Amino acid sequence: MQEVAGNGLLDRRLFLKTGFGIGAATLLAPVVMKNLEAAPEAAPVNTASPPWMHTPGAGYSTYGMPSKFEDDVVRFPSANSAIPGNGVSWTPLHLLEGTITPNGLHYERHHNGVPQINPSQHRLLIHGLVKNPSFFSIENLLRYPLRSRICFVECGGNSNAGWNKSPIRSEAGYFHGLVSCSEWTGIPLPVLLDEVKPTKKAHWLIAEGADAFAMQMSIPLEKAMDDAMLALYQNGERIRPENGYPLRLILPGWEGVMNVKWLRRLKLTDCPVMARNETSRYTELLPDGKARMFTMVMQAKSLITSPSANMLLREAGLYQITGLAWSGRGKITRVDVTADGGNTWAEAELQEPVLSKSFTRFRIPWQWNGSPATLQSRATDESGYVQPQRKDLVAERGRHGFFHYNAIVSWQIDEFGSVSHVYDKDEIAESSDPVDIDAGWD
């Protein structure tokens, strides 16, 4: 097995071969969560039938749930105790596989909790600079032609701990898991705009949510007429309450806060509303003293989910490095991986189908020799954009950032196989004056 890049990276097609003759699989070594104190003792192999083959199993259920043995696969809430219902809960990306996020584990970001909306009393109002201002009930909306698409939604504040001067110690999902990917089904927004007939002066839509925060965000009309959707379904079933039941605005590839949940109003205007969450929040002071605002598109990003922080490699040997990549600008075209902290890179395999503005799963085999190693992944999208190194991102954006952190992530493996989040030496901007993020969620 010849290396394709330094420190043991192997050809991405190694595991794609079928037929007898790979001969490598027995070498694969285990990755476990470090919080398992010791290797779970393998029960002695018993060739007799196990106890659950001796009595009838459980009956049918009208709505199923995960096994009780998976009760550690949960969202991790991180709420602001000063403001009721303000905060986030993180998707455990490090415990998931594939590209679809199950609805129960889709990340949450609320500003004042989850409203419990009776759909028969919910209305969408479209008004402002339009010829036919209109109310729409959910029953009305369900009459419209529907479309489906798989896409990610990512909070603008995802991965914000990357701005900290010291690497955060959380698991990968509890650091980068304010992003999830679902099949959304809803009404193309242009269909409804066609009905209300915007006037020529209309250039923006002010979207408002029906939560106690009354979230307001300004959406350019151009995006609304491109691929915006009024979503009613998520992964086949109606949207969950915490994701905007009964109606959510989906702006594929744009920051999560603009994908307004519990949507109750779209007001067409000639300019943005300059709401709190597009001025004092989701806006950042740059090194030159100017404010970086209306940062709508989520740039290309990638993350190795296994092995990742707080996992343990029990022995030297062959591993499958895997992770996720996504871009708000379209399709991921390649993901490169390094095992030597960025000296040499090899191209990972992308799981088909690669969809625009959607999670793309990447994988590459790696022979770990038992010495310290630093793993990183680097995404490139169809616009040609390449995920930046941390030092370059910090140099560009300064030390007052909280949002839109998309730098390359480094996982360091020590000689005991323990995986930690680190800032690789090349990643630290020497000239910076690092400060910790203390703004938190509000």
* Residues within window 313-342 making contact with its own copies, judged by CB under 8 A: 320, 322
Instruction: Specify which residues 347 forms β-bridges with.
Output: 336
Shortest approach of its own copies to residue 189 CB, angstroms?
Answer: 9
If one asks whether residue 183 binds its own copies (CB under 8 A), the answer comes out as yes
Q: Which amino acid is at 258?
A: M
**At a CB cut-off of 8 Å and minimum separation 6, what does 425 contact?**
341
Please report, as a single letter, which amino acid is at residue 298. M
Beta bridge pairs of residue 367: 318
- Is residue 137 within the footprint of its own copies (CB under 8 A)? yes
Nearer to its own copies by Cβ, of 22 and 439: the residue is: 22
Count of residues binding its own copies (CB under 8 A)? 128
Tokens found for residue 250 = 């989906």
Quick one: 131 or 290, whose CB is closer to its own copies?
A: 131
In the bound state with its own copies, the residue whose beta carbon lies nearer, of 235 and 418, is 235
Structure tokens at 438: 């203390």
Greatest Cα-to-Cα distance within the chain, rounded to the nearest angstrom: 76
By CB under 8 A, tell whether 286 contacts its own copies.
Answer: no
Q: Of 2, 37, 38, 45, which one interacts with its own copies (CB under 8 A)?
A: 45
Range 252-281, binding its own copies (CB under 8 A): 264
Residues in the chain: 442
Place of tokens 């500003």: 111
Nearest alpha carbon to residue 173 among 90, 89, 77: 90
Among 2, 37, 38, 42, binds its own copies (CB under 8 A): 42
30 scored as a contact of its own copies (CB under 8 A): yes
d(CA 320, CA 297): 31
365 binds its own copies (CB under 8 A): yes
Interface residue with its own copies, options 5, 170, 173, 211 (CB under 8 A):
211
58 in contact with its own copies (CB under 8 A): yes
Q: What 3-state DSSP class applies to 350?
A: strand
> Taking the complex as a whole, how short is the minimal distance between the CB of residue 340 and its own copies, in angstroms?
22
Angstrom distance (rounded) from CA 424 to CA 155: 25
Based on the shown chain and the rule CB under 8 A, indicate whether residue 81 belongs to the binding site for its own copies: no
> Smallest gap, in angstroms, from Cβ of residue 303 to its own copies?
15
For residues 401-430, which are near its own copies according to CB under 8 A? none
**Please, what is the Cα angle at 419 between 418 and 420, to 5 degrees?**
120
Closest CB 434 distance from its own copies, rounded Å: 30
Residue 317 CB, nearest approach to its own copies (Å):
9
Pick from 33, 164, 203, 233 the residue near its own copies by CB under 8 A. Answer: 233
Based on the shown chain and the rule CB under 8 A, indicate whether residue 198 belongs to the binding site for its own copies. yes
Which residue in 38, 50, 200, 433 binds its own copies (CB under 8 A)? 50
What CA–CA distance (Å, rounded) separates 196 from 270? 16
Q: How far is the CB of 84 from its own copies (least distance, A)?
A: 4
How far is 188 from 129, CA to CA, in rounded Å? 20
Examine residue 207 and tell whether it contacts its own copies (CB under 8 A): no
CB atoms within 10 A of CB 23: 9
| Closest distance to its own copies from the beta carbon of 110 (Å) | 7
Q: How far is the CB of 363 from its own copies (least distance, A)?
A: 7
Closest distance of CB 278 from its own copies, Å: 20
DSSP per-residue letters across 25-48: GGGB--EEETTSSSPPPPPPP--S
Strands 123-128 and 263-269: parallel
Amino acid identity, position 108: E
Instruction: Determine, following the binding rule CB under 8 A, whether residue 148 of this chain makes contact with its own copies.
Output: yes
| Residue 369 one-letter amino acid | N
